[in-house]
A and B are shown apart, each in its own frame.
Chain A
């Protein structure tokens, strides 16, 4: 049975009471729940306690933003320290990150970019995936990222690059249907090309979300409930992803208020209906 889940950014008791009882998986982003204390990023003890309570009713997963696994210089060690803290304090089902970079020579970009799909990038990313797999005895998944720039190209197609990482490292994949919608809308690929080429057996988790169109580009802001088209794609994809364990609806914290807790709870019910069909 595929589980239904949602991301949670912490410190929102009403969200915990209203939405989380409907979630079988709760996705936690270390960067979003961390705070700076004495000059370093830490997960507050009260947040760990809150997550322990949540873990009584749902599986917890870690889904990072700040690892920057594709940075040429280095991954973000501070981010891994946060993951260490969560892994040692909580029963985490699996860990995942985006296949992109957020820092260059230690400088934060304020956004996430996709690397060119070259052999150089592939070697670097695979060695880092393997090091993460050694560091945490948990499954590690990678998610393809929305690109607002022209295709950086390289030696592989977008799906072929993911397939090669899976082949070399044995990691799993997150198939983000909204990210795919963005790339299709922004004319970087077609849905059928990507899905027909991707090793769908490697998909362990599926993401759905919604955002906006800005100057003609569909952007990845996770600001709205899912469109019917996205759920229709989910229906089509589920039979092709035999190892998917969870479908996660993602919404960024600042949009929770404007969307409303009732609408978000309803969204989880809609997703569950699709998943259980």
Chain B
């Protein structure tokens, strides 16, 4: 294998796409290092997303859908801003109205634009549950509308 072929084969091996027909790549595919490398890559993504997308991570974990969304993220950017956006968009695409709302809200918090986010219930109860880390968020009450803006004290308010 030349250098380019070797590197493509290592990329595909780590990503779980293919094991090239090459003695070194086959040896690498059986190594503990492959498992450690994959887990380290995943662990860093989980850690960084947990810090950057705290609310969405919390609701996905509460509803046991975190891994499903993480696996759906196609973004390989080393920049947390791009990874976070891809993660939140994956969460928005889920068939769960409350998860999608929380992810839309968090995406709006990251953005510079003033954004309206509609909630199927009272956002304060949901956010309190997610931030406390103790309660499974309950979607209760009537629909609410929030305005999210960097210019606003507290970053959002009900409208």
Q: Do A and B come from one complex?
A: yes
Asked if B152 is at the interface (CB within 8 A of a chain A CB), the reply is no
Q: In the assembled complex, which residues on chain B have CB atoms less than 8 Å from the CB atom of A111?
A: 14, 37, 40-41
Interface size, B (range) = 20 to 34
24 A–B contacts from the bound complex (CB under 8 Å)? A41-B79, A72-B3, A72-B7, A102-B78, A105-B11, A107-B11, A109-B10, A110-B41, A110-B45, A111-B14, A111-B41, A113-B7, A115-B7, A116-B24, A120-B3, A147-B33, A149-B31, A150-B24, A150-B28, A152-B24, A186-B33, A214-B40, A215-B35, A254-B47
Q: In the assembled complex, which residues on chain B have CB atoms less than 8 Å from the CB atom of A107?
A: 11, 76
- With contacts A116-B3, A152-B6 known, is A217 near B36, CB below 8 A? yes
Interface string of B51-89 (1 = CB under 8 A from A): 100000000000000000000000011110110000000
Q: In the assembled complex, which residues on chain A have CB atoms less than 8 Å from the CB atom of B27?
A: 150
- With contacts A109-B14, A149-B31, A149-B34 known, is A115 near B3, CB below 8 A? yes
Main secondary structure of the interface of B (DSSP, over half): helix
Asked if B2 is at the interface (CB within 8 A of a chain A CB), the reply is yes
Query: Is B81 in contact with A36, judged by CB distance below 8 angstroms?
Result: yes
The total of chain A residues at the interface (CB under 8 A) is 39
Asked if B44 is at the interface (CB within 8 A of a chain A CB), the reply is yes
A119 to B57: give the CA distance in the assembly, Å. 46
13 further contact pairs, Cβ within 8 A, besides A109-B14, A219-B40: A36-B82, A72-B2, A108-B77, A109-B10, A110-B76, A111-B41, A113-B7, A116-B6, A152-B24, A214-B36, A214-B40, A215-B36, A254-B51
